[in-house]
Structure formats: structure tokens, C-alpha cells
Amino acid sequence: MAATASEIFSFLNEHPTFSIERHEISLSAFETLRCNLRAIFVKLREGGDPEAEEGADRLRSMLSEWLTVPIPFDDSVLRQVEAFGTPNEIEARWGRDIRSNYENALIGAQRIRQIENPIRTTLRSLILDLKANGRIFKVYCHRTARAHFESLLVATDTRAFGQDDFLHSVRDYRDSGIFDTLIKVGPLRSWGWGSAPDAIKSAPRFGTLIQIVWAGCGDEPGFGYDPIAPPADMPVVGTEAVSHEEALVSRASWTPHIVRSGDADVAQSEELLVEDDFQVFGRLSPTGEKRRAILVQIGSQHGVLYPLHSQVLSFDPTPNIQIPISKRLPGESLVAGIFIIRRLLGDVDLGGQQVENDHYSQIWKSHLDEARQNDLDGLVNRLRAAGIGLTCLPAAIRNWCVASTTVIHAPHKQRHFELLIEVLGLGSDSTAESNSYRIPWWQRAWNEIRRSRGEAIQAGIHGQEVLDEECLTALRDLLPTIRKRASDEAEFSVTLPANNPLQGTFLFNKVIQFEEGFLAPDTELKVIRDLGTIEQWRA
């Protein structure tokens, strides 16, 4: 159960300081593997060709996982490295220099097969100790890393982890109660692989943070960010309120305690790792053509990346909810259990007669512009008298006179347009042209406007909003069907009826969970991909 504010403040009052137990582990075989793969990554990134970029991305993902997850050192590590090819193939593809690093990396991968990952032995020992002492602890990790933690205790007689022993998101942390110890593998980072909420440090609800990291992995500077106060790394004494330059801050202080273990020469490691792996990845990642994204997981194997802060069309199946279909913000108003809606629409035609380009609009716009130039006040008065009561009518007239582009600028309401044409005196002429049709001139001109709006919708220029509005209307009409399907299925589609101005299908997928920390190109956004493919876009 989530802790109340009173419980949290009471806890903070009782804890003048909090402690970080940082276990820094080194292993020479792993260092060999890690440093050589990192060297290859740097060289591939500097190479810049697409194949090298892809290889660098794979290396980044592999190393990031190994540095933030307690993986077992088994054949799978070697297999992942060998998947790049034989040394000969590597040399043919990327040169002798990289081949040399690659061969060394293979040696490292072969050597660690003989050893249990020391991160795992340390973790196991710490967890058993916590359990023996009756301490309440939680593990902060990525969902996919959970199995590696659970496998730690398989060989022991100790009860496995409970459902509440893991935290996977800031929301999980927010909804948790107060506990004794938080366990985190890898550096404290706010973004990307192994990321964790800043609140872990800026708003603790546990007394001790146990952090297990590979030697040379530094925490992200400024982790524990508070938008109105200096970085959390600044020394703050006790929980006393201290006036900083920018704010009045009453923040808990952290006491670090570092335990170093392992067989690698620490001094050498530190020399080699002047810049830590994640800093290198960050520095050499081409972010220019990618956007920050949030993963919306649908089903156990698939997800969709949405740009951060995007509003997603969605359906909330909660009975009696006031607005079941609307645009929602992933992770905030769009939560697990709600269905995202994607549309597969045919050509949008909002109806009306097919009129070429802006034939009618050229006529009425020129009349309107002439009337405006001659006597704007008189025109405004006549339009008001006719019944167009728009607040800023002169400005609206100016806008309507603007030459047509992809869309014909015109009154939004059909009635207003009819009155405008009437005032301009265009509807009463019985020209040869108007005789050729049995519908009034204003109606044909209006159809032209509607069509232009329809075209603009397809071009995505005028009208994402117009299209959304049309979609919302169509979806509301289908609400009973949608509700029924949503009660039985986590994934379904609804096809629009033939008489609807829009034609096509809406696809519904129930949201399982969210995850921030992705950086993806536009082509990878808003499309369903399997989670394995999406992994490559983790920042």
C-alpha cells in the first residue's frame, strides 16, 4: 500500500541521514571483454557507415545490459560476441585493428564462462543477509532483468522473491510503502539502460541503498534532480533547512560507504576507464535524427514507441466513465488497461461534389476582397445584419480573403458561408454555369471547401485536428460495439460502416505498461514492433 504523506514525513523526521553502500566489483576476465568491446564500439562509431553503426548499436546494447543486470556468465555471453562473425570476417569487414580487439574480447568471453558472475555472488550474499535479519527490501530493476534476480536464490532454501519485492518504474516507487533497503545493480542514471527515478536519492523512503556496480561505472552527475534546488550531490547537513542561492531546501543527507572487491587491478581499471562506458555511449551516440520516446507495451511481445509528451488517441473501458475516447498522455492519463487506438484509413473524402482545385473560391474570394477594399465597415455591418455574429469579423474577413493554398480559407460553419455568399450577391445569378447544376452555387462552393479540407487532412497539413475530430465522432458512434469487444479481447479491430465519410479500420490494443528512456528515429515511432527490435532504441 502506498505510504501517506504523514507516514513519509514521519519517516524523514526519524532519519537524519541515509546511507549508500556501494559495492564496486572488478574481474580481470570481464574487464578484458568489456574494454575490448568498448574499443570496438568507439572505432565503429567513428567509422560512420551504416553497417558499422548497426554493429555499434548492438555492442552498446550488449554492454549496457551486462553492466546493469546480474546476468549469469554462461555460454550466452560468448554466443552474443561470436554472433558478430569470425575474426577473419571481422577483419574483412572492419580491419585488422578491430580484429585484434575482437580476438581479445573473445578470450575474455571464454574465460568468464568458468567463473560465476561476482555481481551475482555479492547480490546473493547481501540478499540472504537481509532476509536473515528480517529487513524489508526491494529491488529496482528493469522488468526484463527480474528473472536474473529471481534465479539468484534458486539453489538456496530461501523463499523466492515476492511480487512486491521489485520496483520497475517511478510509479511503482511512488506507490510503494516505506521499507528498509533498496537494491540497485549498476550506476544511478536517470535515463536509458539501468535508469532509476531521481526520487531514489531526492525523496528516499528507505534507510539504505545497496548499489552493486562494476568498477569504473560512475553515477550520472546530478542524479537526484530537484527542479528548484541545487543538485543532490551538494553537501547538505542533516535534515536542517539550508538556504541556498535559489531556494530553501530541507533535504536528507547521504553517507556513502564503498566496498571494493575483485581480482582486477583497480588502478589499471581506473586508468582504462577514465571515461565510463555510459559516458562514451552518450558522447558517441548520434542523437540528431532521433527523438526521445516512451514505450507503450501492448501484449507480452510487442510495443509502440511514441514521442515523449505525445497525446495518444485511446479508449478507456471503465464503465460509466465520462469521456471514454479521447487523447491521453502515456504514463499519465493513458495508463495500463486503456486501449490505444490506431487508424488505418482509406482516402479521406468528406463528401461533396468533385470540383477542380479552387475554381469557386477564386470567384467568391475576389468578390469578397473587392467588397473589403471598397468598404470594410459596410461589409461587416451587412454580414452582421445577415446573421454572422463572429466576434472578430474584420479579422475573419481578412483571413477568408487569403488565397487558397492546400486548404481554402473560409468560414468554419456552413451557415456562415451561405450567408457570406448571399451578402456578396453570388447566389442569385442564374449564370450558365449555375444552370448546369441543380444545386445552389453556394453549395457547390462549400463542397469545394469541404473537399479542400479533406485533401488537407490527407496531406496532414490543415488537419490533424480535423481528422482527429472526424475520428472521434466516428468512434463515439461505434462506442457500444467497442465496449463489447473490449470486454472480451485485448486486441481487436472495428471497421467503419460504409455510410461514414471516413473509411477504414480502427485497431485497438490494450496497454500493459510503459517505459521511458528510448531514443528512436521517426520511422520507428507510432508503429508496432516486437520488444526485441525496440530494445535497440533504448538510450
Partner 1 sequence: MLFSESNRPWEPVPRWAESFVRLGYEWPNAAIQVRRISLISMPCDSPAAGLIALGAMIRDLGSPSANDIDAHYDSLLRYAKQHLDDCRDCELERCNPEEKGCGHAKKADGWVRSAANPRERAVVSDETNFERRELAWQDGSVTWRPTVNGALRWHIDDEPPTQVRESAGILSHAAYAALVNGARILPENLRRSFSGLCFAGRASGESRSREVCGAVRFRDGDFEYGLDELLTVYGWSYSDVSRVTFFNSRTEQLDRSTASPALVVADGGDSFLRVSSATRFQRSDVIGVIHRTMERERLEALGEKMTSLRQWYVQDEDMLCGLPVIPPGVSISILRRRSD
- Chain residues binding partner 1 by CB under 8 A are 3-10, 12-13, 170, 173-174, 190-191, 197-199, 202-205, 225-229, 239, 241, 243, 245-252, 292, 308-309, 331-333, 389-391, 411-413, 416, 516
Given the complex with partner 1, which of 344 and 402 has the nearer CB atom?
Answer: 402
Angle between helices 414-424 and 376-386 (to 10 degrees): 130
Three-state DSSP state, 1: coil
Which residue, among 399, 395, 386, 391, has the nearest Cα to 427 in the 3D structure? 386
Up-side HSE of residue 428: CA atoms within 13 Å toward CB? 6
Give whichever of 108 and 197 is closer to partner 1, judged by the CB atom: 197
CB 479, min distance to partner 1, A: 18
What does the alpha-carbon distance between residue 139 and residue 184 come to, in Å, rounded to a whole number?
A: 6
Question: Least CB distance from residue 258 to partner 1, whole Å?
Answer: 25
Are 508 and 486 in contact by the 8 Å Cβ rule? The answer is: yes
43 versus 168: smaller Cβ distance to partner 1? 168
Q: Least CB distance from residue 164 to partner 1, whole Å?
A: 17
Q: How far is the CB of 220 from partner 1 (least distance, A)?
A: 10
SS3 labels along 100-121? HHHHHHHHHHHHHCCCCCHHHH
Q: In angstroms, rounded to a whole number, what is the distance separating the alpha carbons of residues 441 and 436?
A: 10
**Alpha-carbon span 431 to 389, nearest angstrom:** 30
Instruction: Indicate the residue among 4 and 405 with the shorter CB distance to partner 1.
Output: 4
Rounded to a whole number of angstroms, the minimum distance from the CB of residue 177 to partner 1 is 11
Looking up cell 468598404, which residue turns up?
A: 375
> Can you read off the three cell numbers belonging to residue 34?
568489456
Instruction: Give the nearer residue to partner 1 in terms of CB position, either 94 or 417.
Output: 417
Query: CA-to-CA distance for 31 and 269, rounded, in angstroms?
Result: 8
> Could you tell me whether strands 206-214 and 17-26 are parallel, antiparallel, or unpaired per DSSP bridges?
parallel
3-class state of residue 452 by DSSP: helix
> How near is the Cβ of 190 to partner 1 at its closest, in Å?
4
Name the minimum Å distance from CB 502 to partner 1.
19
How many Å apart are CA 95 and CA 314, to the nearest integer? 50
* CB nearer partner 1, residue 249 or residue 490: 249
203 versus 355: smaller Cβ distance to partner 1 = 203
